[in-house]
Amino acid sequence: MSAASATTAASAELATARLRPRRARAPLGEGRARVAKAVWLGLVSLYFVIPLAATAAFSLEGEHGSYTISAYTQILSSSAFSSAFLLSLRLAIETIVLAVVLVVPTAYWVRLRLPKLRPVMEALSFGPFVVSPVVLAVGVENVFRKAPSWFIGSPNILVVLYVVLSFPFLYRALDAGLRAIDVHTLTEAARSLGAGWALTLWRVILPNLRTAIISGALLAFAIVMGEFTIASLLLFNTFGVYIETVGMTAATGAAALALISFALTWLAMGGLVLVLGRAGGGKGSVARQVQIGVTR
Amino acid sequence: MATLALQGLHKRFGTVTALDGLDLELASGELVSLLGPSGCGKTTALRIVAGFEVATSGRVQVAGRDVTDVPANKRDMGMVFQAYSLFPNLTAAENVEFGLRVRRQAKAARAAKVAELLELVGLASAAGRYPYQLSGGQQQRIALARALAIEPSVLLLDEPLSALDAKVRVNLREEIRRIQLELGITTLYVTHDQEEALSISDRVAVMSQGRLEQVGTPAEVYRRPATPFVAEFVGTVNRLTVRVVDPAAGIVEHRGRRLETAEPLSLTAGAETRLLVRPEALVPSLAGADGTADGIGGRVVGTSFLGAVTRLWVDLGDGAVVAADVQSAAADAFTPGTAVALSIRPGAGRVLASDRSEADPVVAELPA
Ligand SMILES: Nc1ncnc2c1ncn2[C@@H]1O[C@H](COP(=O)(O)OP(=O)(O)O)[C@@H](O)[C@H]1O
Ligand SMILES: [Mg+2]
């Protein structure tokens, strides 16, 4: 045993000896690393930019090799487009609000008081991947058949389903966020200073989960804006359904729509980041939260 | 300020008994340390006082009022945690202000209090910094200021210095004591570091396995340990197997040599017992040329430099090794292999009335 440990010690020493000169040359290596990083970033952005550029080029094609923006004007002026987009936007916001209100306190409480339930939550969060949206839609329709018509007959029913669909993303983001802070100590510190549960959640836990909530909310947003299966089965004209319809009827229109929805979705996400970044009391900015996350 | 009383606290976690009947009373303005090895129940006791844990049985009283069933956020106790506990999204000043905002104090009053406390902990210049911009020691100072801002009836600290490095630790513990004396706040201080406990406390409560072993001033606990556990845990101690010669006069005998103990013994003449001797009470001298000298004979087997003193590890034959301190200036004469004679400072040896621990001869261990 002592022979073995002696060899390990010797090889460890060798390893450090080999490392030392390399560390001395670090500045050179750093420069090379920066170039490699730039090249890599360039390649990755090409992966995104080329399809977008190609789509843009196609969307501008007119008859006989001419160029026109008519595809864009048509879509932007159509009332079907704006009503579908606004409906999905509304559903996305309602979904995010409902999901955050339900999931944040739950994830917090599970972490704080019911650690034994964590595997159960994990398993539950796989649900939406296991159960296909078709099954979900049909099942929900059956369950809610006797529900009042303001619920079953209005897009509100979609919000419930979208909360289910986005639960895994939000829960996982929150769980990671909760793991990054010392939930127990922060909670006890707040309570010893006189804060009740609601105040502790609102003023201590929520602000420190902002980054996690934003990333979960963005995913939820993307899911709702693009969701097609359930909305189409339940016969609602959401943005996803509208895109699908246009895609089947107009070629350049579909390309233009893809770009428009891309731009709008990103704009909306930017707005979301701004709004959520300010919410939760306190003056903290998202940038600061990120910084805190990085320095930890 | 207020008195604090822990009465018959029991706490079980499943099959683990964390507290097994803890009784402790703190006078108003007193700083009492709960001292004991890791896992002995110190944190559990503190958390029960703070209201974060519910005792299986027993009561907690503050200023004579029973608070056992009062929720943590209504107890008005300041708490400083072992782990860094500042709210990461708030600045130092906002952290200190937190409890005042919860209490809906007026803005001007809050600002004045925050400034006063930052001043008190010597961090007025760090008001606008976020926790990640503060060192560990600074974070604990802010945590102390935050706990004190609400003017709590009792201050609770759970190993607040254990995450800090040695130098900061010593500075900050002096700071804590200075502030505690200045405010005259009743304080329960949990630590496993006996030096820390002895240096800042009015009284030390030594715990083992969920029970109190001894409560007393630092000097009492160090000089007159009530149990072998306390003797071993607080400071270093040598144990010598001795035979009682004259109980009334406190005379015992070690390998035929008569030794005087600190007080009369309740044992009968001829009984075998153990004598506890601190290293600083065991005085080594060089043995004569023939290897004999006036004292317990032995041979130096190792030395540890401790600063002002050097600790000698002396083998008494038969495998028993004891620790004896000499002034470092005089330590050069005692190299390993040197034959020495150990004498006990008169009256320094102590026989424990309730000697209930394991077999003899036991002595201080060699350093690892
Ligand atoms: N929440 C808990 N669940 C189960 N066992 C616990 C819990 N808290 C403490 N214990 C146990 O109680 C004993 C005392 O722990 P603690 O009070 O933390 O000791 P100390 O602070 O003195 O190190 C230990 O054996 C520990 O494992
Ligand atoms: Mg502890």
Q: B89 at the A interface (CB within 8 A)?
A: yes
Question: What number does the ligand 1 atom closest to the CA of B19 have?
Answer: 14
B134 ligand 1 Cβ < 6 A? no
- pLDDT above 90 covers what percent of chain A? 12
Within a domain: B364: no
Helix axes A239-249, A210-226, angle to 10 degrees: 40
At B206, phi and psi to the nearest 5? -90, 130
> Are A174 and A214 in contact, with CB atoms under 8 Å apart?
no
Indicate the average pLDDT of chain A.
77
Strand partners, B214: B206
* Nearest residue, CB atoms, A192 vs list B79, B87, B130: B79
Search chain A and give the residue with CA nearest B53.
A188
Judge whether B329 lies within some domain: yes
Burial track A239-275 (b if 16+ CB lie within 10 A, e otherwise): bbbbbebbeeeeebbbbbbbbbbeeebeebbeebbee
Using DSSP, state whether A172 is helix, strand or coil: helix
For the segment B156-176, the average pLDDT, to the nearest whole number, is: 91
Q: How far apart are CA B314 and CA B311, in angstroms?
A: 9
Q: Name beta bridge partners: B34.
A: B190, B205
CB of A186 within 8 Å of any CB in chain B?
yes
Residue A162 reports pLDDT greater than 70: yes
| Mutate: best of A192, A278, A289, A294, partner B, most B CBs <10 A | A192
Domain that holds residue B69: 4-231
For range A216-223, the mean pLDDT: 86
| Residues B262 and B188 grouped into a single domain | no
Residue A27 confidence (pLDDT): 57
pLDDT at position B354 is: 42
Q: What pLDDT shows up at residue A10?
A: 39
pLDDT of residue A283: 42
For chain B positions 120-179, those within 8 Å of chain A (CB to CB) are 130, 132, 143, 146-147, 150
- Residue B206 Cα to ligand 2 midpoint, Å, equals 14
How is chain A split into domains, by residue range? Answer: 71-295
Average pLDDT over residues B82-95: 93
- Whether residue A186 is predicted with pLDDT greater than 80 in this model: the reply is yes
Query: Band of the pLDDT at B302, cuts 50, 70, 90?
Result: confident
HSE, CB side, 13 Å, CA atoms: give it for residue B18. Answer: 20
Q: Ligand 2 (ion): which residues have CB within 5 A?
A: B 43
Average pLDDT of chain B, as a whole number: 86
pLDDT band at B352 (very low <50, low <70, confident <90, very high): low
- State yes or no: pLDDT of A15 exceeds 70: no
Task: Say whether both B250 and B222 belong to one domain.
Answer: no
Q: Name the token pair of A277.
A: 């970044």
Q: Strands B203-208 and B211-216: what pairing?
A: antiparallel
What pLDDT is stored for residue A278 in this prediction?
66
Looking at the DSSP bridge assignments, the partners of residue B241 are B274
d(CA B148, CA B117): 8
Domain final residue pick, B231, B247, B275: B231
B83 lies in the same domain as B145: yes
Instruction: Flag whether pLDDT at A147 surpasses 90.
Output: no
> Is residue B363 one of the residues assigned to a domain?
no
Residue B80's DSSP bridge partners are B157
d(CA B113, CA B131): 20
Chain centre distance of CA A108: 19
Neighboring chain B residues of A284 at a CB cutoff of 8 Å: 89
Q: What is the structure's pLDDT at B141?
A: 93
Closest ligand 1 atom to Cα of B47: 17
Are B326 and B312 a contacting pair, CB within 8 Å? yes
> Which residue in B100, B95, B101, B102 sits closest to B121, CA to CA?
B95
| Residue partners of A201: CB distance under 8 A and separation at least 6 | A104, A105, A108
The pair of three-digit structure tokens given for residue B124, joined into one six-digit string: 């007025």
What ipTM does the predicted assembly reach?
0.80
Q: How confident is the model at residue B355 (pLDDT cuts 50, 70, 90)?
A: very low
Interface of A with B in 246-285 (CB under 8 A): 282, 284
**B252 and B202, same domain (yes or no):** no
Closest to A139 (Cα-Cα) out of A46, A10, A56, A234:
A234
Structure tokens belonging to residue A18: 């080999």
* Whether pLDDT at B152 is above 90: yes
Quick check: CB of B42 below 6 Å from ligand 1? Answer: yes
DSSP three-state, residue A263: helix
> Hey, whose CA ends up nearest to atom 2 of ligand 1?
B13
Examine the domain organization and report whether B84 and B189 are in the same domain. Answer: yes
Measured in Å, residue B304 CA sits from the centre of ligand 1 at 34
Summarised one tens digit per residue, pLDDT across range B256-293 is 777 777 677 777 788 888 778 888 888 888 876 554 55
Task: Read off the pLDDT of each residue in B122-129 and give the average, rounded to a whole number.
Answer: 92
Among A3-12, B6-15, B95-104, B214-223, whose mean pLDDT is lowest? A3-12
**Mean pLDDT within B96-115:** 93
Of B212, B231, B250, the one marking the end of a domain is B231
| One-letter-per-residue 3-state SS of chain B | CCCEEEEEEEEEECCEEEEEEEEEEECCCCEEEEECCCCCCHHHHHHHHHCCCCCCEEEEEECCEECCCCCHHHCCEEEECCCCCCCCCCCHHHHHHHHHHHCCCCHHHHHHHHHHHHHHCCCHHHCCCCHHHCCHHHHHHHHHHHHHHCCCCEEEEECCCCCCCHHHHHHHHHHHHHHHHHHCCEEEEEECCHHHHHHHCCEEEEEECCEEEEEECHHHHHHCCCCHHHHHHCCCCEEEEEEEEECCCCEEEECCEEEEECCCCCCCCCCEEEEEECHHHEEEEECCCCCCCCCEEEEEEEEEECCCEEEEEEECCCCCEEEEEEEHHHHHHCCCCCEEEEEECCCCEEECCCCCCCCCCCCCCCCC
Q: What percent of chain A has pLDDT over 70?
A: 81
- On whether residue B110 sits in a domain, the answer given is yes
In a domain, B342, yes or no: yes
Do B244 and B227 lie in one domain? The reply is no
Residue A6: per-residue pLDDT: 39
pLDDT of residue B362: 30
pLDDT number for residue A238: 83
B83 close to A (CB below 8 A) = yes
Rounded to 10°, the helix B92-102/B107-120 angle is: 130
In terms of Cα–Cα distance, which of B279, B281, B295 is closest to B345?
B281
Are B149 and B89 in a shared domain? yes
Of B254 and A279, which is predicted with more confidence? B254
**Do B221 and B243 fall into the same domain?**
no
pLDDT tens for A82-109 read 888 888 888 888 999 999 999 899 989 9
Write the CATH number of the domain with boundaries A71-295: 1.10.3720.10
- The residues, ordered by sequence, that sit 6+ positions from A182 with a Cβ below 8 Å of its Cβ are B83, B84, B85
The confidence band for B213, taking pLDDT boundaries of 50, 70 and 90, is very high
Q: Say yes or no: B212 and B82 in one domain.
A: yes
Which ligand has an atom closest to residue B37 CA? 1
Residue B362, domain member (yes or no): no
Residues B79 and B190 in one domain: yes
B221 bridge partner residues: none
pLDDT-based confidence at B190, cuts 50/70/90? Answer: very high
- Cβ partners under 8 Å of residue A141, min gap 6: A152, A233, A234
Residue B109 lies in a domain: yes
Which residues have a Cβ under 8 Å from the Cβ of A285 and sit 6 or more positions away?
A: A277
B178 within 8 A of B159, measured Cβ to Cβ: no
Query: Does the beta carbon of B103 lie under 8 angstroms from any beta carbon of chain A?
Result: yes
Per-residue pLDDT band at A59 (split at 50, 70, 90):
confident
Whether B275 and B194 map to the same domain: the answer is no
Query: Which pLDDT score is estimated for A85?
Result: 83
Identify the CATH number of the domain in which residue B290 sits.
2.40.50.100
| Structure confidence by residue, pLDDT tens digits, A257-276 | 888 888 888 887 788 778 77
Q: What is the pLDDT of residue A29?
A: 67
B104 touches A at CB < 8 Å? no
For residue B183, the domain's CATH number is 3.40.50.300
CA-based torsion, B162, B165, B168, B169: positive or negative: positive
Residue B140 and residue B73 share a domain: yes
**Does the pLDDT value for residue B245 go beyond 60?**
yes
Which residues of A fall within a CB distance of 8 Å from B51?
191
Where is the domain boundary, B231, B257, B276?
B231
Kindly tell me if the per-residue pLDDT of A17 is higher than 60: no
Counting the structural domains of chain B, the total is 2
Asked if residue B361 belongs to a domain, the reply is no
- Predicted TM-score (pTM) of the model is 0.77
Report in angstroms the alpha-carbon separations of A96 from A85, A214, B145, B195, B361.
16, 10, 38, 54, 71
